[in-house]
Structure 1
């Protein structure tokens, strides 16, 4: 039986994830997964599956907020989503065959890559994306890769997609965030279906976290339009670095106990 502390933790995790989701154009898995593991003792696989389910309503609210500001590139988002849905099914199948420590180190490695990319990308509000056949193929590759990550480690992929859309495809920062959130919706649904088949989702926790997150996502999206994009990148990179260090230390402790 869970006590009031667990339910309060679910709400708190959801509020934080919702704010970050709207602010940075991510699903919120980068905060949901490590906090479920570190605070509530979820194993990595269950945390990943629960996170992906909670991301669905959060992303819907987020993309609606960005769409109201005209910051969603619909055709690229659909290309990314179609490829990501396939990748998510691959990721959920692979996740059941990988050990907990390996999954944890995958998450840490993922965070390191994202932190580096956030310092490499120079956000701009004036950039404009031009769709071409070459760009379309690139979007398919990007979507499939992020879908695999979604199914494997429980993140929607936004923390990878947003920097890459800015760095390689010429999106401005707001359009990259809105497009990322649009892609995350079907990706998260597809991954959740796979996780449910393998019983890797705590539906009650996912529901509480997801609904709590929805109350903060619109605020985060509005703040994104007010903040200087460079400041936002630096703050997010610092946050991810802290999470990555905590997860790495936990992985090392678990290895010593084994």
Structure 2
């Protein structure tokens, strides 16, 4: 799949920097922000934007995950269990990506954003909460990773927007541990999804490299800022950001008449 024009490195770097800051701040790979920006501002087709986003997520996830780890805000066992599922799920998602109509993907992505926005108002964690990993919760973490991987490969999101609320709401994690664990989990998921997308030519590697490098520069700053924001206001800020993106995408979709 080809792109009508090659976006400038400067524009890609700016988008990547914004994505990296938000990635570190909210524990997401940044795809939930990056995919609509690529579609709206640079004219990427939805499928190519999703594949490019999955690849660009990797550097930000590595650097941001290290930042949270140095602060002691990563549950490594939970991250490994989530990663076991996401590696398989990302392959399934990248396979489906090349076979599902673009218009359907756009509406599916917007429905996904709406679900996340609503969930953030019901998940207010405690900073001292931890994940109690048992045999049952371990299995559920793998299943969560599998589902997240499918969404990652299919929608171009890193999976943090799924995993962070789930870890807080269902597994009792603090918001910082949920964010740090999510970023570590995204590393193998991004690699797996990118390999699948590259085989199917659903990724712009040049754009992904510029976006990823720029994102990795500001990702650590976001992780530091996150420690100084109360959990409730962190959720409020994240939900407002996603609601704005959803509104922009819905407006553009309805105006263009795409289905």
Please classify the TM superposition score into its range, dividing by the shorter chain length: over 0.9
TM-score calculated relative to the size of structure 2: 0.96
Unaligned runs of 5+ in 2: none
- 1:128 aligns with 130
Query: How far 1:169 sits from its partner (Å)?
Result: 0.2
Query: How far 1:2 sits from its partner (Å)?
Result: 5.5
Query: How far 1:248 sits from its partner (Å)?
Result: 1.8
Residues 1:178 and 2:206 are matched in the alignment: no
Query: How far 1:144 sits from its partner (Å)?
Result: 0.4
**Contact (CA 8 Å) 1:19, 1:216: kept in 2 or not?**
yes
- 2:50 aligns with 48
Q: Residue 246 of structure 1: which of 242, 245, 248 is its match?
A: 248
**Contact (CA 8 Å) 1:101, 1:251: kept in 2 or not?**
no
Quote the Cα distance in structure 1 between the aligned partners of 2:84 and 2:253: 34
Query: How far 1:252 sits from its partner (Å)?
Result: 2.3
Matches within 5 A, 1:1-258: 6-255=8-257
Structure with the higher helix share, 1 or 2 = 1
**Contact (CA 8 Å) 2:120, 2:165: kept in 1 or not?**
yes
Deviates more, 1:123-132 or 1:190-199: 123-132
TM-score calculated relative to the size of structure 1: 0.96
RMSD: 1.4
Unaligned runs of 5+ in 1: none
Q: When the two structures are aligned, how many residues end up with a matched partner? A: 256
Quote the Cα distance in structure 1 between the aligned partners of 2:254 and 2:245: 14
Query: How far 1:9 sits from its partner (Å)?
Result: 1.6
Query: How far 1:124 sits from its partner (Å)?
Result: 1.2
**Contact (CA 8 Å) 2:98, 2:202: kept in 1 or not?**
no
SS at match of 1:103: helix
Query: How far 1:7 sits from its partner (Å)?
Result: 2.2
Query: How far 1:21 sits from its partner (Å)?
Result: 0.5
